[in-house]
Chains A and B, each alone.
Chain A
Amino acid sequence: MNRLRLRLKTSVILLLVGIVLTAMAIVSATTLTVAVRHIHEENRKEVTRAAVDMEERLAIILSEIETRVRIAAAIIVDLPPNSVPTMLRDVSVPRLEALYTIDANGKVTAVYLGDGNQSRAQELIGIDLSTYPLYVRAKNHFGVIWSDKQISAVTGVVTMAIATPLKFGAGVAIAEVSTDSIIEITQIARGSGNLDYWIIDKNGEIVADTGPDPVRFENLYYLPIVEAVLDGKPPPEEMEFRGESYSVAANRSEKLGWLVISRIPNGISNPRIIDLIRIIASFVLGVVVVGLVLATAWVRSIVRPLHAVADSATRIANSDPPTKWPSATIIEIDQLYRDLQAMSEAITGREADLQKLNSELEARVQQRTEALQRSNVELSRTLVSLEHAKDELVQAEKHAALGRLVAGVAHELATPLGNGRMAITTLSDRLKMFRRSMAEGLRKSDLESFIETTDASITIAEANLHRASDLISTFKQVAADRTASRRRDFRLNEMIDEVILTMTPTIRRHPVTITTDIEEGIQMDSFPGELGQVITNLIDNTLLHAFPDKASGTVTITGKQLSEEHVEIRIADNGVGMTAETAKKVFDPFYTTQFGHGGTGLGLSITQGAVNNVLGGVITVESEKGQGTTFVIELPLNAPYDDPDDKPAE
């Protein structure tokens, strides 16, 4: 929701207008309440008096009419018909519409019609009005009787009739006057002001209403005041009619039996209250106008220093604080000036401090940057050294492996060469003995013994030298493979047998049995040196880690062709296994659990490098603590070529 935003000037003016209006509203409401009560009281008196006055006035006027009707009746009875109209004009009954006499039998005997319709007057003579209620009442009554509003017996229109008995008990004269006459009488008697009247007949029919919007055709029997008066009860003083409230009073006409009801509107329909409201409204308007003028001037004097404050604040915001600070008449604004000045000075001081700090900070950043650059160079250099060291380590590892190979081979050669030497030594001894025998005299048995010995020695020597020669050629093959990365065709089972052979001395030092189960006839075109190194490293690794404390165990090497292009080699032990944590890291360079015991942590890293990069395969490890470890190598039968051009044409 958006909050209403107002200018100070507007809000102060609104405030003042609000105060004025509120004050005036309260004062006006109070005044009105008091005045209304007062007016109300006066109204009450006025309507009561008016009802009596109007009834009296009506009574006088009606008596006058009655007198004239009596005279007119005498005229119509006594005078010849042709002089009646002239005489009646002189009597001048107001709004006389018809005058007729009815004899004791109910027959019409004489008729005068206000419209001068002679033929109608004539035909009326002799008709029977014995059932006419006014006649029935008047016949047995001494004095004048007024009818209620009713339909005329002779003209057929709605009139009021006045019945007066004729002389000598000879019947009744009836004069019919228009209800307009009553309306006129009451209108004249009404006077000015807001007082109005209803004249209501005994049946509740409105005869006259002097109001601005007169009710003429309604029966008001249901109004409490009509009911009360007709029932002879005290009438109410207030009345609601058509949504308006009135002060009312009623008086009943003795002559007619009719009601005179006077009424004055209450509330804002009352002109006096309207006048009062008008006066109050003009007063309020005047006060608001004066208030507005004063407020504008007053606001200007408040707003000017506030604008100066705002201006100063803006200048402070723009880092251009005013040099000269004004003072104000209003304490709060003056205080604001001084606070603003203090704030401005504080800001200036802090700005200088900040600037100083800022420049120092730049220098420090410069120094740090240089130091960092130096460290960076050193680190780069160290990294290069480390790379170098790693390469050297890898080389050293390879050499060590080769050394171990050589040691193994040398050890293996010792036996056949020792046997050969022993055979040759034996032969040599026998030869010396033979020569001595020849000098002493050679016997046939001596010769046979010598030949036999010689033969055996030669056989032994020959066999052992062959064995040595085989070993050397194997070694030559392995060494050649290892030292120079050579690609050639080979059979997997033969290659692995050779590798295990070269490892015999190492293996023999451990109580571990190595079994191989390689499918025969797996022909590969790959790098046997690297593969051999991989197998050697894995067996070394197994011997080193899987069986601590000279525990006995088994290492099984299996190989099988997976598809036409791939082969799988598994090297599984039943040793201690390793944790998942360790298994995850075994191929990381420099990771070793035997640090300080001669492990470089590079063996398996190199192994993985050879499998991935040279042989084009993948190596994974499956292990669980206490459940042994299996290295799985998956290789293509044909190793990939580094340079596609090296690939032989097929």
Chain B
Amino acid sequence: MFKVGIRNCLSIMAGGTLRPVATLAAVAVSVFLTACEDPQPIKVGFIGSLTGRSADISEASRNAVELLIQKVNEEGGIDGSKIELLIRDNANDKVRAGEMVRDLHANGVVGIIGPNISSMAAGMIEAVNELKVLTISPTVSSIAFVGKDDYFFRINSSTRDNAISYANYINDKGVRTVAAAIDGNNRVFSESWLEEFRKEFTRIGGQVVASEAFDATKQLSYSDTAERLVAARASVILMICNSVDTAQLSQQIRKIDGNVGLIASEWAASERLLVLGGSAIEGLELVQSYNRWDKSDRYLDFKSAYINAFGRDPGYASVTAYDAMTALVKALEIRTSGQDLRDALKAVGPFEGLQQTVEFDQYGDGKRVPYFVSVKNGKFADVNE
């Protein structure tokens, strides 16, 4: 009878234990797995109007946010975790803006920077508060979002602050009558802006003799609006709309009337205004919520990094977005495990932003120093020069 040693059959089963096999298997399995993985990235969302006629502002904001994130990540991230930016275009549609909040939340963002436009903020606010996702807008200023204890924080001054500055500024220049053009596509901003302006301007003796709403996204025509504004015979035409519309409207106004004074709300204060406005905007005055001639090292470093990366100058939306993202980063840095990011941000307290101290009041509302500029030779110039 043929006989065979059990060792020959089961050579590995030494001592009746499976441990060596398990060890080998574990080693083999670990071959498939890469040695170590980076810590999970911290996701931050950005929502902006990246395709429409306000794309310049949102792009300016997005660029600044990207710049800061790049800087933070190069310096090792937050506790070793890199920040990953998820960018969403709201396509200038407030419903879509709200959906984007939910989308970003579902993708695990800890906070959102944006939007740039009050009408988009109106579409987002419900989702923001429902999902408790801290959202810091670099530019939104409508009074509709002021004084609300919610998850929506704002860097910018309110329309009230700005409109009062404007009213007093033109009053000091002896202007008594104003005709206003307001963007019908962003009424939450433009109407509240005009209302605050009218209140203050009337109080100090001026008069808003006409107001014209237009919506270039629905009806791409500026000449009718321009004609009606000129017909009001005010000494100044005030445009409360974005840079593209301000440029286009100015073009149409100048075709009819070469003399009427032109003023635009701070919303228009982007480089695109200069590019599209041509000679039509010469002499136009407006507020910029940042000091474009700032010579501080902090700002100059930022500006050169920005130009180096994006091939153009930063705008007011870049400066405020940089401050907004800085606030978010500071909140992430001090946040304790499990803490609500909003509470962490409230605990951050005032800090030095790019150009000024950034401080939120109890409702998460900020304030900027206004700088009046006018267009001279196709460039922004200090009104006092």
Residues of A near any B CB (own CB < 8 A) = 6, 11-12, 14-15, 18-19, 21-22, 25-26, 28-29, 32, 106, 115, 117, 119-120, 122-123, 126-133, 148, 151, 153, 155-158, 202-205, 215-219, 221-222, 242-243, 298, 302, 327-334
Contacts and interface: CB of A to CB of B under 8 A. Distances in A.
Contacts of A26: 28, 31
Nearest to B220: A120
Given A29-B31, A219-B62, A334-B3, A130 B309 contact: no
Given A18-B18, A157-B51, A330 B221 contact: no
B363 interface: no
A129 to B, nearest CB: 5
Contacts of B27: 22
Given A158-B51, A217-B89, A106 B278 contact: yes
Contacts of A130: 278-279, 378
A222 B70 contact: yes
Nearest to A123: B223
Interface in B117-141: none
Contact of B28 (A25, A155, A205, A222): A25
A127 B3 contact: no
A155 B18 contact: no
Interface string B1-45: 111111101101100101001101101110110000010010000
Given A15-B18, A22-B28, A222 B66 contact: yes
Contacts of B62: 217-219
Given A120-B221, A126-B255, A329-B4, A131 B378 contact: yes
6 tightest Cβ-Cβ pairs between the two chains A and B: A25-B28, A128-B278, A18-B21, A156-B53, A29-B31, A127-B251
Contacts of B3: 328-331, 334
Contact of A19 (B21, B59, B244): B21
A19 B12 CA distance: 9
Contacts of A18: 18, 21-22, 24-25
Contacts of A155: 220
Contact of A131 (B29, B59, B278, B309): B278
A593 B62 CA distance: 120
B88 to A, nearest CB: 7
Given A15-B18, A120-B221, A222-B309, A133 B275 contact: yes
B187 interface: no
B277 A131 contact: yes
A474 B108 CA distance: 127
B255 A151 contact: no
A204 B305 CA distance: 14
Nearest to B84: A242
Given A14-B18, A15-B21, A133-B275, 12 more contacts: A11-B13, A14-B21, A19-B21, A25-B28, A28-B32, A127-B251, A127-B255, A151-B56, A157-B52, A216-B89, A219-B66, A243-B38
Interface residues of B, number: 66
A127 B254 CA distance: 8
B21 A127 contact: no
Nearest to B37: A243
Given A15-B12, A203-B312, A327 B1 contact: yes
B222 interface: yes
From DSSP, what is the main secondary structure of chain B's interface residues? Answer: helix
A217 B275 contact: no
A132 B275 contact: yes
Contacts of B216: 156
B56, B276, B277 — most chain A CB neighbours (10 Å): B276
Contacts of B85: 218
Contact of B9 (A126, A218, A302): A302
A597 B378 CA distance: 151
Interface of B: 1-7, 9-10, 12-13, 16, 18, 21-22, 24-25, 27-29, 31-32, 38, 41, 48, 50-53, 55-56, 59, 62-63, 66, 70, 84-85, 87-89, 216, 220-223, 244-245, 248, 251-252, 254-255, 272, 274-280, 309-312, 378
A62 B59 CA distance: 26
Given A18-B24, A127-B255, A217-B87, A119 B278 contact: no
A12 B51 contact: no
Contacts of A329: 1-4
B14 to A, nearest CB: 11
A397 to B, nearest CB: 84
A158 B28 contact: no
B6 A157 contact: no
Contacts of A115: 220
A340 to B, nearest CB: 16
A328 B16 CA distance: 20
Contacts of A14: 18, 21
Contacts of A158: 50-52, 55
Nearest to B217: A156
Given A131-B274, A217-B62, A21 B70 contact: no
17 contacts: A15-B13, A18-B21, A25-B29, A32-B32, A106-B279, A115-B220, A126-B255, A128-B254, A151-B272, A156-B244, A156-B245, A203-B311, A203-B312, A204-B309, A204-B310, A221-B66, A302-B6
Contacts of B244: 151, 156
B275 A131 contact: yes
Contacts of B222: 123
A21 B29 CA distance: 9
A332 B5 CA distance: 6
Contacts of A131: 274-279, 378
B299 to A, nearest CB: 20
A119 B279 CA distance: 22
Given A131-B275, A156-B216, A327-B1, A22 B25 contact: yes
A153 B276 contact: yes
Contacts of B87: 215, 217-218
B88 A29 contact: no
Contacts of B1: 327, 329
Contacts of A332: 5-7
Contacts of A153: 275-276
B262 to A, nearest CB: 14
Given A218-B66, A221-B310, A12 B10 contact: yes
A332 B6 CA distance: 7
A26 B26 CA distance: 11
B7, B41, B48, B55 — most chain A CB neighbours (10 Å): B55
Contacts of A19: 12, 21
Nearest to A331: B3
Contacts of A15: 10, 12-13, 18, 21
A308 to B, nearest CB: 15
B309 A11 contact: no
B150 to A, nearest CB: 26
A219 B252 contact: no
Nearest to B252: A123
Contacts of B312: 203
Nearest to A328: B3
A38 B74 CA distance: 32
Nearest to A132: B275
B52 A330 contact: no
A6 B17 CA distance: 10
